[in-house]
C-alpha cells in the first residue's frame, strides 16, 4: 500500500471509541463517554455542528455491553437527522424505535451508503467490523480478541485461542489500512496475544490499540515488550482522550 494515498483523520474518543473521518464519511465506533463527562461533548468537538450536518455520519456499535454502546447515541438524530447507525443485532430496543438503523449479524456482508461492511463473530459478544470505503480499508474489533485470562482453565483459554484465530483468518487476503484492536491491561502478560496474531497474520499498515480506558500504562508495556519489536512502528501511542491523528 502507498500510504500517501491515505487521507483520513482519527480521533480517540475513549476506551474502544474512535471517530474516523474519510474523504466522504465520518465513521464513529463504539462511542460511550467517560463517566462524569457530558455525553455529547466529544461528538460536537469532532467538528462544529454546522459541519457535522453536511457530513455522511455512520455510527457503529459492535455489541450491547455498556462500555461499547449507549442508547443515547440515538438522540443524535435530533441535531443530525441524516445520521445512520450500524448496530450488532444483539442490541435490543423497544418497539417504538424509529431510526436509520441497520442491524447486522456476524459473518455477513452488507452495503450501506458506499460502504462495504463485513462482520466477524466476536469471541465475547456481538461483531467485529471490516469496512471498505473511500479507498480505505478499516477494521474495528469490538470485543473480538484473544481473551486469555490467567484465572481461567486451560480448556477455556485453548478454546478462546482457536476461536480468535479462526475469525481473524477469515480476513486473510484482505487489505487492512487501519485496525483498531483490543489491548487490555487486565489480561496482564497476555495483553498482546490478540494484536500479535492479528499483525503477523494480516499485516495491517496502522494499528490503534483500544479497550484500555485511560490506563495508558499498557503503552509502557508495549514499548518495552520484545514480542513487538518487528511491528512496533505500526502501532500508534495514545496519550489522552480527544487525541487526533492525521494520516496522509
pLDDT tens, per residue, the chain with 248 residues: 444 468 899 999 999 999 999 999 999 999 988 777 776 666 666 676 667 777 899 999 999 999 999 998 998 888 888 899 999 999 998 655 667 999 999 999 999 999 999 999 999 999 999 999 999 999 999 999 999 999 999 999 999 999 999 999 999 999 999 999 999 999 999 999 999 999 999 999 999 999 999 999 999 999 999 999 999 999 999 999 989 999 98
Is residue 241 within 8 A of residue 33, CB to CB? The reply is no
The secondary element (H helix, E strand) that includes residue 220 is helix 217-224
pLDDT number for residue 50: 66
CA angle, residues 34, 188, 239, in degrees to nearest 5: 40
The secondary element (H helix, E strand) that includes residue 136 is strand 136-140
Residue 14: strand pairing partners? 17
Q: Which cell goes with 165?
A: 484465530
Residue 203 falls in which region: left (phi positive, over 0), alpha (psi -120 to 50) or beta: left
What's the predicted TM-score (pTM) here? 0.94
| Mean of the per-residue pLDDT values of the chain | 92
Is residue 85 within 8 A of residue 59, CB to CB? The reply is yes
Write down all domains in the chain, each with its CATH number in brackets.
3-247 (3.60.15.10)
pLDDT number for residue 36: 73
pLDDT number for residue 2: 46
Q: In what order do the strands lie in the sheet with 17-21?
A: 101-104, 84-88, 56-61, 25-29, 17-21, 8-14, 244-247
Amino acid at each position: 500500500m502507498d500510504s500517501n494515498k491515505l487521507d483520513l483523520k482519527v480521533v480517540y474518543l475513549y476506551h474502544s471509541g474512535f471517530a474516523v473521518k474519510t474523504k466522504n464519511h465520518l465513521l464513529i465506533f463504539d462511542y460511550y463517554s467517560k463517566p462524569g463527562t457530558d455525553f455529547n461533548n466529544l461528538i460536537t468537538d469532532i467538528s462544529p455542528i454546522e459541519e457535522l450536518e453536511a457530513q455522511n455520519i455512520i455510527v457503529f456499535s459492535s455489541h450491547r455491553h455498556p462500555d461499547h454502546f449507549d442508547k443515547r447515541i440515538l438522540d443524535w438524530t435530533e441535531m443530525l437527522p441524516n445520521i445512520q447507525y450500524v448496530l450488532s443485532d444483539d442490541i435490543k430496543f423497544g418497539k417504538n424505535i424509529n431510526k436509520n438503523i441497520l442491524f447486522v449479524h456476524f459473518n455477513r456482508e452488507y452495503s450501506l451508503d458506499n460502504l462495504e461492511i463485513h462482520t466477524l463473530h466476536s469471541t465475547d459478544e456481538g461483531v467485529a467490523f471490516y469496512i471498505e470505503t473511500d479507498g480505505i480499508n478499516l477494521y474495528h474489533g469490538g470485543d473480538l480478541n484473544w481473551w486469555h485470562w490467567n484465572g481461567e482453565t486451560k480448556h477455556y483459554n485453548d478454546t478462546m485461542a482457536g476461536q480468535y484465530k479462526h475469525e481473524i483468518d477469515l480476513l486473510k487476503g484482505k487489505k487492512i489500512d487501519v485496525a483498531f484492536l483490543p489491548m487490555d491491561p487486565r489480561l496482564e502478560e497476555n495483553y498482546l496475544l490478540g494484536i500479535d496474531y492479528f499483525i503477523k497474520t494480516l499485516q495491517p499498515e496502522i494499528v490503534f490499540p483500544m479497550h484500555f480506558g485511560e490506563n495508558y500504562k499498557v503503552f509502557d508495556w508495549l514499548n518495552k515488550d520484545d514480542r513487538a519489536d518487528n511491528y512496533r512502528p505500526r502501532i500508534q501511542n495514545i496519550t489522552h482522550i480527544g487525541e487526533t491523528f492525521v494520516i496522509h
